[in-house]
Structure 1
Amino acid sequence: MSHFRNPSRKALFTVRRFRNLVAACAASVILSGCGVVNHMIYKTTGDVMQGFSRDHTVPFLMASDDLAMGCAMSEATAPLLMSFGRVTSEPDQLAVMLYLSAGGCADEQAREHELAALAAMHAMNGNAAQDAMIRQKRANTLAAERYFKGWQHFKAHYGDPAAGECPEFDDDMDEFIYMAGLLSGLQALNSQIQSTSSIGVPANIGSIVARATSCLENDKWWGAPMALRATVWAMIPGAEPQGEDAFERLEQADAQGTAAGVRLAHVFHAIAALNKGDEAMVREVIRDHAKSLETTPPNEDWRFVDAMATDMILAVSDRLWVENTGHRTPLGQLGTFWDDPREDIETMDLDALL
């Protein structure tokens, strides 16, 4: 009887080992179960966030005209939203918009540095001009990297447009994001050229984008697809089809954009004119854009795109003004130039400020 009342140390050790093993197994099951549950929660959250952002956040932003807010949102939320690709499907479609917008943020910085360089050159300050140009190239490199990421996600979602096949669009937003992806590809190439470095953007991306714009309804999208295509024709030697005139097409697109209240075509027209070196045409595009703002209100659903177009036209105007005067376009004077008749320019009395 004493043998059963006082078990040996070996027996006690065996019992304890068994209990520990059971506890360890139980803990493993519980923890692995928590991991599965967490993964399911993360996946569901990711799917919800992707769907909500596409169906509500993007349309809400497009109806706003606060460009700075949109820029801040894309830079701040891109890492969060893209990280859901670790637990659910990659948010390729949403990434197109995020990286296009974030690339625009870096592009805006590059333009600011360019203006600083031009102002420094006008003031004969070589060191300041060189420093600003270095900062401009750095910002252009960042812009190119972001735009190119948007282009890669665009291809992952819609397929490679170089294959020549058009995707089947689910709705208007799907079609708009397709156009945004094409713009991202073109901007990636432009920013890479401006940066004077290479991040791997294909040199033929312009011709690919031009062909892919045929997948979009030109009338539906404010003449922008035709304007984008015509801009590529104007910039790439030999790209213009026989019987076409790139600048006539751009004028037609300008009229469509103005009538729709989404003046994106003006931006493409200005870019093509700058590439041609035709300053008179650049000025005319800027004047037309400024006049249209007075006569045609922006489209309520696409106020962001229209505001973006005006911001880019203002940037072109600022560049001309700084090159020739050392300062930007005077406030409220978009569409006027330093050498216009004096009565057309509102001057500032500097003595009154002293």
Structure 2
Amino acid sequence: MKRFQKAAGQWLPKMAKLRGVTAAVVASVALSGCGVVNHMVYKTTGDVLQGFSRNHTVPYLLNTDDLAMGCAMSEATTPLLMSFGRVTNEPDQIAVMLYLSAAGCADEQAREHELTGLAALGDMDGDAAEDAMIRQKRAHALAAKRYFRSWQHHNAYYGEPGTGECPDFDDDLDEFIYMAGLLSGLQALNAEIQSTSAIGVPKNVGSMVGRATSCLDNEKWWGAPMALRATIWAMIPGAMPEGENAFERLEMSDRQGEQAGVRLSHVFHAISAMNKGDNERLRDVIRRHAESIEETPSNEDWAFVDAMSTQLIVAISDRMWVENNGHRTPLGQLGTFWDDEQEDVETMDLDDLL
């Protein structure tokens, strides 16, 4: 009996120790299992949100004309959607649209600062003008970073544009996002130049984009691919092929966009005219845009793109008005200018009513 008690006294501590080790192992496995389960939940959630955003959120947004809502959505949801790249595949395709839209928000801020600066110059307020121009450059720097992120995600998903074969597009939205990524690349370079900062955008982006536009169906996309290519021809010395005329191509693209109700070509045409210093052509593009939106409603499937085009045309018109007349384009008068000849207006002699 004493011998048994002695043996038990020796083994009981060992059993207790064993139970402690076993409990620790079980707890470790349980916690590890929780981590695996959480990862699976996060991954599934990320995959669902990516698919929903691509297949429903983006198409829904493109059907609307509320640019401010789209801007707010992109800035608010980009960190959330992009964070799922930590637990599942990187959402490169949806990132093209998210960063492009968020960059447009910063671009809009830059345009507002520019108008403030121009107005301050008109009032001979040098300090206010300089402050506005500094804010403008900061906004352009932010826009350049966002556009460049869009371009990088575009290349990660589709491959570097203009260097090989064209991608095999799954559907129209896939092709549209490809075009949007090309626009991001060109806008990244433009915003970097205007910011006077070094963001790291490759200087050959223009030529890459120009070559890649041949992968897009010009008629399907309202003449925009050809207009984008022609804009690059007009802006980059030596880029235009022999026998081509950039502005003739832009005129043709304008007609396609006007008929389709998606007037993105007008923006490219206006930018090309400004770059050449052709003020009469610029005025003509703005007038045609104003007439077209009165005559042809926006394409319902691409209302957002057409609304964005109008916003950019209005921004160009506002800049001209502020520079020359101190205020923006009067409401309802897009397509008119401060020095237009005023039509004779019939007046009533109020004396006869007294």
Give the letter for the 2:29 counterpart. V
- CA distance in structure 2 between the aligned counterparts of 1:152 and 1:179, rounded to whole angstroms: 14
Summarize the alignment of residues 178-197 of structure 1 with structure 2, pairs less than 5 Å apart.
178-197=178-197
- CA distance in structure 1 between the aligned counterparts of 2:269 and 2:104, rounded to whole angstroms: 19
- 1:49/1:344 CA distance change after superposition, 3 Å: farther
Give the letter for the 1:151 counterpart. W
Give the letter for the 1:49 counterpart. L
Match for residue 154 of structure 1? 154
The answer as to whether partners of 1:96 and 1:153 remain within 8 angstroms in 2 is: yes
CA displacement at 1:164 relative to structure 2: 3.1
Give the letter for the 2:171 counterpart. D
- CA distance in structure 1 between the aligned counterparts of 2:125 and 2:197, rounded to whole angstroms: 25
Give the letter for the 2:301 counterpart. D
- CA distance in structure 1 between the aligned counterparts of 2:326 and 2:10, rounded to whole angstroms: 93
CA displacement at 1:239 relative to structure 2: 0.7
CA displacement at 1:8 relative to structure 2: 6.5
Match for residue 348 of structure 2? none
1:339 aligns with 2:339: yes
Partner deviation per Cα, 1:121-158 (whole Å, 9 max, x = no partner): 01111000000000000000000000000000000000
Partner deviation per Cα, 1:85-144 (whole Å, 9 max, x = no partner): 111111000000000000000000000001111110011110000000000000000000
The answer as to whether partners of 1:232 and 1:239 remain within 8 angstroms in 2 is: yes
The answer as to whether partners of 2:141 and 2:192 remain within 8 angstroms in 1 is: yes
Question: What SS is found at the alignment partner of 1:161?
Answer: coil
The answer as to whether partners of 2:163 and 2:208 remain within 8 angstroms in 1 is: no
- 1:6/1:196 CA distance change after superposition, 3 Å: same
CA displacement at 1:14 relative to structure 2: 2.0
Give the letter for the 1:264 counterpart. L
CA displacement at 1:317 relative to structure 2: 0.2
Summarize the alignment of residues 1-354 of structure 1 with structure 2, pairs less than 5 Å apart.
1-2=1-2, 4=4, 11-343=11-343
The answer as to whether partners of 2:116 and 2:132 remain within 8 angstroms in 1 is: yes
The answer as to whether partners of 1:336 and 1:344 remain within 8 angstroms in 2 is: no
CA displacement at 1:198 relative to structure 2: 1.1
Give the letter for the 1:166 counterpart. C
Partner deviation per Cα, 1:267-295 (whole Å, 9 max, x = no partner): 00000000001111111100000000110
Give the letter for the 1:259 counterpart. Q
- 1:331/1:10 CA distance change after superposition, 3 Å: farther
Give the letter for the 1:186 counterpart. L
- CA distance in structure 1 between the aligned counterparts of 2:177 and 2:49, rounded to whole angstroms: 17
CA displacement at 1:327 relative to structure 2: 0.8
- CA distance in structure 1 between the aligned counterparts of 2:147 and 2:16, rounded to whole angstroms: 62
- State the TM-score, normalized to the length of structure 1: 0.95
Question: What SS is found at the alignment partner of 2:203?
Answer: coil
- CA distance in structure 2 between the aligned counterparts of 1:159 and 1:344, rounded to whole angstroms: 59
- CA distance in structure 2 between the aligned counterparts of 1:6 and 1:231, rounded to whole angstroms: 96
CA displacement at 1:10 relative to structure 2: 5.2
CA displacement at 1:15 relative to structure 2: 2.2
- CA distance in structure 1 between the aligned counterparts of 2:132 and 2:108, rounded to whole angstroms: 14
- State the TM-score, normalized to the length of structure 2: 0.95
The answer as to whether partners of 1:164 and 1:212 remain within 8 angstroms in 2 is: no
Question: What SS is found at the alignment partner of 2:243?
Answer: coil
Question: What SS is found at the alignment partner of 1:78?
Answer: helix
Aligned residues: 345
Question: What SS is found at the alignment partner of 2:120?
Answer: helix
The answer as to whether partners of 1:287 and 1:336 remain within 8 angstroms in 2 is: yes
Partner deviation per Cα, 1:298-317 (whole Å, 9 max, x = no partner): 00000000000000000000
The answer as to whether partners of 1:114 and 1:136 remain within 8 angstroms in 2 is: yes
Match for residue 350 of structure 1? none
- CA distance in structure 2 between the aligned counterparts of 1:228 and 1:261, rounded to whole angstroms: 17
Percent identity reads 72
The answer as to whether partners of 1:141 and 1:195 remain within 8 angstroms in 2 is: yes
CA displacement at 1:161 relative to structure 2: 1.1
CA displacement at 1:34 relative to structure 2: 1.1
Question: What SS is found at the alignment partner of 1:342?
Answer: coil
